[in-house]
Structure 1
Amino acid sequence: MSENRKVLLVDDEVHVLHAASRVLRKFVDVTTADGPQEALKQIQTNGPFAVVVSDQNMPGVDGIKLLGIIARKAPSTTRVMLTGNNDQQTAVSAVNDGRIFRFVTKPCDSEDLKKVIEAGIDHHQAMVAERELLEQTLSGSIKMLVEIVAMSRPHAHLRASLIQRWARMVNKALGSKPSLEQGISAMLCTLGYLTLPDSLADRYLNGDSLTPEEKRVVNEAAAQARDLVLNIPRMEGIADAIYYCRKGYDGSGFPADDVAGENLPEAARILCALIDLAEVATGPAPSFEECMAELEQNAPRYDPAILEAMHQALGGDQVFAGNAEAEKLKVSVTELAAGDTLASDIRDAEGRLLLAAGSPLSAVTIKRLRSVESLSEQDAHIVVWRQSLAPSETESDPASVT
């Protein structure tokens, strides 16, 4: 992991920025912003920064509020605040609201500022290293949960795979960077369906009509999924995204609390719209325009920016189909490869569904299919979509967030 030494200085006094930049540019990569709006623009376009040093007293959005926003948008960036105020309340607010690493009073000696920034860079590197280790450690747990859903609820696994693909496209249209929360929460958003009675899960995933009580039970499965995910350390953000994936932007839906609008996790807002899209697209294939028109009859339920991104990104992609790089093949069970996608349902000798059309195959699911006696004895042939080029790890890994 290469060391990130990018530092963003924020101050509405341009001469202060120039003076600090001259001192610091000799040992770090300095970018300046003459106010909060420019700072957020730099975070979006030139990040990630190892350290942000912001003045407190700026017109409009002060330093505490700015650093609080940055904490949400770039949590691994170390935040330092410079201020002429040394009262206790300012310090408390800076720590609690801005979640800062250091609180430095003016005037600040240049050598002291260098030491603070070096400590901030070290802190940033430690956070990035911890996150990378976390992602690697989580990968096995996530894959296990995904495989359990695939084997226990094939149609739920198919829906999750579909929603994950949509989420990647919508995320790109929104201009957001891929996140662990968005990628994994999309794959695990159907985990709670494991707790539903078999008949209810099947009817829901087949698009059958449900009673209001049955709809409530389906929605509350998000709480069961949240509780399962919370058994894995450091999954709190993903658990929150799954818990609120049935909560509308207007506060409607489950759970019945006061969280709404921008206070909902972005991943949850995306999932809410995509889960509803998957529901209206189930059954006889309607057009994408018809699906979106049905969603827009209840427009307050969805983040307007996400609805717009769905229009831009999804087009007619509401059901699985081979893309321009995929080839439709009929292969034997022994010829299946990780990264293939089923083009038709697979059932056992009794007609029970093993994997649904549209499901991506992994090494585990292929091993399971090869162990099915009725398939192996007949050397059954299965129709799949296969990338003309070898699929990348990102495309074949169900826990991928890119």
Structure 2
Amino acid sequence: MTSKPEALPRVLCVDDEPHLLAALERTLFDQYELVTATSAGDALTVLKHEPPFAVVVSDMRMPGVNGADFLAEVRRQYPAVSRILLTGYADTESAIAAVNRGAIFRYLSKPCPREQLIEAIDAGVALHRRHEIERQLLSTTLAGVVKLLSELLAMAAPQAFQRASFLQACVRHALPKLGWSEPWRYEMAAALSQIGCIGIPEGEADPLSENAEHAETAWRLLSPIPRLESIALMLRYQTSVAPEDVGSEVMQGATLLRAALHLQTLAPHKIDAAEVLRRLRMAKPALPGSIVEALADFRGAWSEQRLERVDKLQLGSVLDQDVRTKTGMLVLSSGHELTQAAILALQRLLSTDAIEHTVRVRLRLG
């Protein structure tokens, strides 16, 4: 049986002159799966709705948004995509400036020989593959580390873990609407958001204080870990406004955490979705409208409370009550999202008749 041929790398070419795009198609059709667009706006639409691309090649001079600014936006939304800029002699300084600020991988002068263009695209494809391998490694290996740290937080600071579980649920609810790239980074930030509360007496940590001690502690704990630098910064600024020089990813991640913390303070109150929306809009410092809208209906993402047998608990359910032993010792607090480890711990306690046979939970919908 013959093996399935490897798919050609996907390349998006952008130029406002159709005859130049046709020339690129003739040059590259046998090397790559080629898609074309005649403007930056059309190209962004293609990137949003079509399968991922390895490389984007753009002309510098286009009406409206020029190639350098377009590729800077591609970098912001799709950081793993390699970006190549085609320039005329008069655009060289602008191209060099774009390289220096990290917006593009390479720039090539026109007219560009076929061999040189293919060499640059091949290098871009190789870079994209390295980014994808690194991303997969980060999202799987680091997920195990985060899970361990979360379990430690659950044991050492149950109330802080309850907040972190709530924030995780908020972030998971909002991300599909926000459409941000690499969503696992924001989920990881939410899971670790309260790690700095370990060592702070329960009840003394103010999760929304602008100078929250736990936010600074979380940053100090995580920033030395390779590849967690941006997540550490999200945690540092989760209760305040991040400075612009930290980058858009950190700013939007920290702001989403702050919005989720505001929502968490509203959770105990019996208020409807319209009131939740109104209060989020009144938050100070102000929250972006896109984040407010993404979180406004969060309360509807959970089922009504139900009584569940401990031996029938489902992964991902959220406790709607504190679980205590029959002697009164707190085991897990209300709001704890049940992991496999938590369910096994409860079932072990049940086997020794240390806890009641049923608990109140809520289930995630959808």
> Which among 313, 316, 330 is matched to residue 309 of structure 2?
330
Please list the CA deviations of residues 282-312 of structure 1 after superposition, one character each: whole Å capped at 9, or x if unmatched: 3x4333333332232347610012122223x
Equivalent pair of 2:238/2:257 in contact (CA under 8 Å): yes
Task: Work out whether 1:227 is the aligned partner of 2:220.
Answer: yes
Cα distance, 1:235–1:336 mapped onto 2, change above 3 Å: same
Q: Distance in 2 between matches of 1:119 and 1:215?
A: 47
Please list the CA deviations of residues 150-198 of structure 1 after superposition, one character each: whole Å capped at 9, or x if unmatched: 1122222222222222222222223445512211111112222224333
Match of 2:336 in 1: 359
> Which among 196, 220, 241 is matched to residue 234 of structure 2?
241
Cα distance, 1:230–1:3 mapped onto 2, change above 3 Å: farther
Equivalent pair of 1:171/1:177 in contact (CA under 8 Å): no
- Measured after TM superposition, the shift of residue 379 of structure 1 is 6.4
Equivalent pair of 1:4/1:49 in contact (CA under 8 Å): no
Cα distance, 1:316–1:366 mapped onto 2, change above 3 Å: closer
Task: Work out whether 1:6 is the aligned partner of 2:10.
Answer: yes
Task: Work out whether 1:277 is the aligned partner of 2:263.
Answer: yes
Q: Which runs of 5+ in 2 are unaligned?
A: 1-5
- Measured after TM superposition, the shift of residue 41 of structure 1 is 1.7
Cα distance, 1:28–1:263 mapped onto 2, change above 3 Å: closer
Cα distance, 1:363–1:258 mapped onto 2, change above 3 Å: closer
Q: Distance in 2 between matches of 1:290 and 1:93?
A: 47
AA in 1 matched with 2:209: K
Task: Work out whether 1:305 is the aligned partner of 2:290.
Answer: yes
Three-state SS of the structure 2 residue aligned to 1:215 is coil
Three-state SS of the structure 2 residue aligned to 1:285 is coil
- Measured after TM superposition, the shift of residue 83 of structure 1 is 0.8
Match of 1:200 in 2: 204
Task: Work out whether 1:215 is the aligned partner of 2:192.
Answer: no
Q: Distance in 2 between matches of 1:329 and 1:237?
A: 39
> Which among 292, 311, 322 is matched to residue 345 of structure 1?
322
Q: Distance in 1 between matches of 2:362 and 2:46?
A: 40
Equivalent pair of 1:101/1:120 in contact (CA under 8 Å): yes
- Give the alignment of 1:64-83 within 5 angstroms: 64-83=68-87
AA in 1 matched with 2:291: I
Task: Return the TM-score normalized by structure 1.
Answer: 0.79
- Give the alignment of 1:164-175 within 5 angstroms: 164-175=168-179
AA in 2 matched with 1:304: G
Equivalent pair of 2:8/2:32 in contact (CA under 8 Å): no
Q: Distance in 1 between matches of 2:294 and 2:246?
A: 20
Cα distance, 1:26–1:10 mapped onto 2, change above 3 Å: same
- Measured after TM superposition, the shift of residue 371 of structure 1 is 6.1
Task: Work out whether 1:110 is the aligned partner of 2:114.
Answer: yes
Three-state SS of the structure 2 residue aligned to 1:198 is coil
> Which among 283, 290, 298 is matched to residue 314 of structure 1?
298
Task: Work out whether 1:31 is the aligned partner of 2:7.
Answer: no
Three-state SS of the structure 2 residue aligned to 1:301 is coil
- Measured after TM superposition, the shift of residue 76 of structure 1 is 0.9
> Percent identical across equivalent pairs?
33
Q: Distance in 2 between matches of 1:357 and 1:216?
A: 26
- Measured after TM superposition, the shift of residue 260 of structure 1 is 9.9
Equivalent pair of 2:325/2:355 in contact (CA under 8 Å): no
Q: Distance in 2 between matches of 1:338 and 1:293?
A: 33
Cα distance, 1:119–1:215 mapped onto 2, change above 3 Å: closer
Moved more, 377-386 or 302-311: 377-386
> Which among 363, 382, 392 is matched to residue 358 of structure 2?
382
Three-state SS of the structure 1 residue aligned to 2:36 is strand
- Measured after TM superposition, the shift of residue 142 of structure 1 is 0.5
Q: Distance in 1 between matches of 2:331 and 2:46?
A: 49
Three-state SS of the structure 1 residue aligned to 2:310 is strand
Aligned residue-pair number = 361
Match of 1:399 in 2: none
Q: Which runs of 5+ in 1 are unaligned?
A: 206-213, 249-254, 396-402
AA in 2 matched with 1:291: V
Task: Return the TM-score normalized by structure 2.
Answer: 0.86
Equivalent pair of 2:223/2:233 in contact (CA under 8 Å): no
Cα distance, 1:362–1:305 mapped onto 2, change above 3 Å: closer
Please list the CA deviations of residues 209-230 of structure 1 after superposition, one character each: whole Å capped at 9, or x if unmatched: xxxxx9355x242121122122
Match of 1:156 in 2: 160
Cα distance, 1:338–1:308 mapped onto 2, change above 3 Å: closer
Three-state SS of the structure 1 residue aligned to 2:209 is helix
Cα distance, 1:259–1:127 mapped onto 2, change above 3 Å: closer
Three-state SS of the structure 1 residue aligned to 2:337 is coil
Cα distance, 1:263–1:137 mapped onto 2, change above 3 Å: closer
